[in-house]
Every structure is written in structure tokens, then in C-alpha cells.
Amino acid sequence: MPSTIAVAAVMLLSAVVYSQSVGDVAVSAPDIYPPDGTFTGELEVKFVANQPHANIYWTKNGDVPTNASRLYEGPFTLFEPGTYLIQAIAVPKTGNLENSVVRNRTYTILKSEVPIPTVSPAKGKYRGQVVAQLLAPAEVSSNPNAKIQFVIDVDDPGNTWQTYTAPIVLDTPGEHIIKSRIVISGAEGKSPKISPTARYRFEITSPLVYDVTTECAKCEKTPTVGQVFTVWLQNPEVNSIMKLTTSSRGCELDRHMLDDTKPTKIKHRQVAYRFVTYTEPQPKVYVCLQEPSHPNQTFIMVPRRLKSSAQGVGDNYFAIEPAFGAIKKQQTEKPYDGPTHQPFAERSNFSMAFILLFAFLVLVLFATCTTMGRLFKGRQHHRIPRATVVHDDDA
Ligand SMILES: *[C@@H]1O[C@H](CO)[C@@H](O)[C@H](O)[C@H]1NC(C)=O
Ligand SMILES: *[C@@H]1O[C@H](CO)[C@@H](O)[C@H](O)[C@H]1NC(C)=O
Ligand SMILES: *[C@@H]1O[C@H](CO)[C@@H](O)[C@H](O)[C@H]1NC(C)=O
């Protein structure tokens, strides 16, 4: 009997040990920063994962977080005045580990007397560059004593604040933090009122350099009106949308598309798109891409890599040159001015002058008809349909 109890005890013990070592081990909970407290204006909240291969889910309304809660993707900001209970849980991505315990923080956000500036577009991840605008909220935007100040990538602004006058271009890949505040200068001798500092984090990913090249078998250099040319793209994201625009402002919405081209979905990592433009030459054609990984970003121009240098980036446009040599030559010939005028004022014979004038008019008429005829014939001969043909080579 005692041996049976001993065997049972050992089995129970090993079952407990087994379940603890395999089934019941929980992943480590994330840390939440900053510590509990009261903040004025806004607060950026950050989680630090203590466990690889785990997702962090969180809530801010008191609900216990689960794998159905919001997935943590990066620091977030609390703006609205109020009290928040932030709770976070780590959930293993694979394996049989248990979810972590729930961590929590309590923050109180107080409304600031002077509101913080806002930013447009929203902070976040952008490809190549972002042009960020700082805006004063309505309640201070008409106040002539209010101004927006900012610094970029400065930990402690001190007295390095700059007055905001124009949109800020961020184009260096990496993380950038715009700190911004509103200062309302007081009357003589009074100290200014200053808003809390807003922090806007932008992540700039490397610019598009997809080796856009154009190739035209029958053209001397760049694409030419009436000749098929190819746009090569190396390694664009599959399902990107490409379009060719001719706007001086680059990749606007669906305006100023090259002739009749339409936005084209890219289906392969290596693509060659063939075009023929039958209308005017174009000084600047932009290759614009919208990538699925940046769905809300408008189309961006794709710079061309310079052939001559490994890192150099060329212009972000190419030209379509005027048409065939023949047409060009004819058009650049000195235009026909009509016969040169002979001074006939000294001729005394009026009828002679009249006959000469008549003959001259006939000549002019004849010359005009001939020129028109030639031009018309020439145009007919070179008439080409107004359309652009697009082929998608699944290279
Ligand atoms: C979420 O967790 C539950 C158990 O807690 C599990 O049954 C479910 O499959 C999980 N869902 C996902 C999408 O992981
Ligand atoms: C927050 O976490 C602490 C332990 O860190 C715990 O004692 C407390 O009950 C938690 N609060 C809520 C609302 O879950
Ligand atoms: C993209 O825009 C749509 C609507 O404009 C919005 O609902 C969605 O949340 C945005 N997505 C991202 C990732 O910003």
C-alpha cells in the first residue's frame, strides 16, 4: 500500500513539474512608461517588451486586455483631458507559453490653458519624405500674439526653439521627433503663456530608388514622341500602383496623367511597362508609385538612379523628346515669308503699279495656298492617333 501511495505521489509531483515546465510558463509582461502621474496637455505612452516573439495588446478604458484588444505598434499619445487606466498584456506568437500577467498604469491628463499645436499629416511612418505642417488649434489661431515654435531632433530644446513659418520637410531616413509648442506673448512686462510641448514622431523609410530606367530602341537617347519606350522598375512592392504624370507638381492626384495612361497595378518585382506617346513632347514625366505598405500616402515620385554612379540618384523625371527627325527638320526650316517687297513709290506709272500690286496679290495668294497645301499634306502624312498604348510586360 505505501508503495502505491509513493508511486502516486511521484506521478502527481512529476505531473505538476511537467505542467509547470511546459504548459504553465507565462511570458514576461511588458513595462509601461512613464510611471503613473498627472500630466498637462498630452502624454506619450510607451511599452517596452520583455519577451521576444510576443505581441502586446492594450486597452485604455478599463477592459482587461486580450488578444482581441488593440495591438501595440509603437508609442501613442493621450490628448483628451481625463483619467486613463492603461493595461497591457503580452501574448506569445507561437508555442505553448501562457499569456503574461496584465500590467497597468493610471494617468490623468489635464487640459492646458494654452493648447498644443497639431500636426498634418499625422505622425507615423512615411516613405522617402514627409512635409509636416504645424497648426494652431482654432482657439488661438486668430490670436496675433500666438506663435508656434518647434525644434527637430533636439532632446532638450532650451533656447533653441525656432518660430514656425513654413512646412517642415523631413527626408533623412530614420526617426525624427518634432517638438512643438504655442507661445502667447503677454503684455509689456508680463511673461508669456506657453503650452505644453507636443512630440510628433515621424519615421522616414528609405526613399524609393527602384532603378527606374527608360529604354527606347528606336530613339537616340530619351523617349521620343511616336516611338515605343519602356519604363523599367526594379523591385517595386508587388501591388503598388504606378502612374506617369506630367504635372509640374509631380505626383498629384489623378491629374495630369501622361496622355491617356491610367494607374497601373504592379504585379511583379521586375516590371517593364511599354508606352507610346503620340501627342506633344514632355519636358518632365514623373513615375509615381503608391505602395501597399504605405496605403494612405499619396503617390510619390520615384527618382532614377544615375547610371554613372552607384549611390547617386538622378532626376525624378524623364523627358519625351519631340517627334521624328523629318518633322523636326521641316518645322525648324526658316518659315516662308512671301516675296520681298519692292519699293515702287518712285514708279510714276499708276497702272503699272496697279498691275504689279495685282500680280503681287495673286502671287501671295498662290504662295499661301501652296504653303497651306504643303503643310496640310505634311500633317496628314504624319498624322498619328491621339492615344498612348500601354503594354504590361510580365518580365
Ligand atoms: C486568442 O486567445 C484565445 C484563448 O485565449 C484563443 O483561443 C484564440 O485562438 C486566440 N486568437 C488568436 C487570433 O490568436
Ligand atoms: C494594477 O496593477 C497593480 C499591480 O501592479 C494591481 O495591484 C492593481 O490591482 C492593478 N489595477 C487594476 C485596475 O488592474
Ligand atoms: C487610411 O485612411 C482610411 C480612410 O481615409 C482610414 O480609415 C485608415 O485608418 C487609414 N489607415 C492608416 C494606416 O492610417
Nearest CA to ligand 3 atom 5: 296
pLDDT in tens, 231-282: 777 667 788 888 888 876 667 666 678 877 788 888 876 666 777 777 788 8
288-306 pLDDT per residue, tens: 878 787 665 656 665 554 4
State in Å: Cα 214 to ligand 2 middle: 62
pLDDT tens profile 316-330: 677 888 876 544 433
Ligand 2 atom 7: the closest Cα is on which residue?
Answer: 104
| DSSP, residue by residue, 280-306 | --EEEEEEEEE-TTSTTSPPEE-PPBP
User: How confident is the prediction for the chain on average, in pLDDT?
Assistant: 74
Distance between Cα 184 and ligand 3 center (Å): 34
C-alpha to C-alpha distances, 76 to 169, 197, 293, nearest whole angstrom: 22, 15, 20
Q: Is the CB of 264 under 6 A from ligand 2?
A: no
In 3D, which of 214, 215, 203, 228 has the Cα closest to residue 316?
Answer: 214
Ligand 2 centroid vs 104 CA: distance in angstroms?
6
Q: 103 alpha carbon to ligand 2 midpoint, in Å?
A: 7
Q: Which ligand is nearest to the CA of 96?
A: 1
Closest ligand 2 atom to 87 CA: 14
The pLDDT of 130-140, averaged and rounded, is 91
Q: Is 104 in the pocket of ligand 2 (CB under 6 A)?
A: yes
- Whether the domain at 27-110 and the domain at 118-205 fall into the same CATH topology: yes
CA 295 to ligand 3 center in whole angstroms:
8
Instruction: Name the more confident of 29 and 257.
Output: 29
Say what the pLDDT of residue 310 is.
45
pLDDT at residue 174 greater than cutoff 60:
yes
Q: Which residue has the higher pLDDT, 371 or 94?
A: 94
The answer to whether residues 35 and 105 touch, using CB atoms and an 8 Å cutoff, is yes
The CA distance from 63 to 86, in Å, is 9
pTM, whole model, 2 decimals? 0.47
Q: Is the pLDDT of residue 354 over 80?
A: no
pLDDT digits (tens, 9 = 90+) for 92-109: 998 888 999 999 999 999
The answer, yes or no, to whether residue 309 has pLDDT greater than 60, is no
CATH 2.40.10 fits 118-205, yes or no: no
CB of 31 closer than 6 A to ligand 2? no
Q: Is 296 in the pocket of ligand 3 (CB under 6 A)?
A: yes
Domain range annotation of the chain: 27-110, 118-205, 213-325+386-393
Closest approach atom of ligand 2 to CA 104: 1
CATH assignment of 27-110, among 1.10.10.10, 2.60.40.10, 2.60.40.1260, 3.10.450.30: 2.60.40.10
pLDDT digits (tens, 9 = 90+) for 117-134: 999 988 888 877 788 999
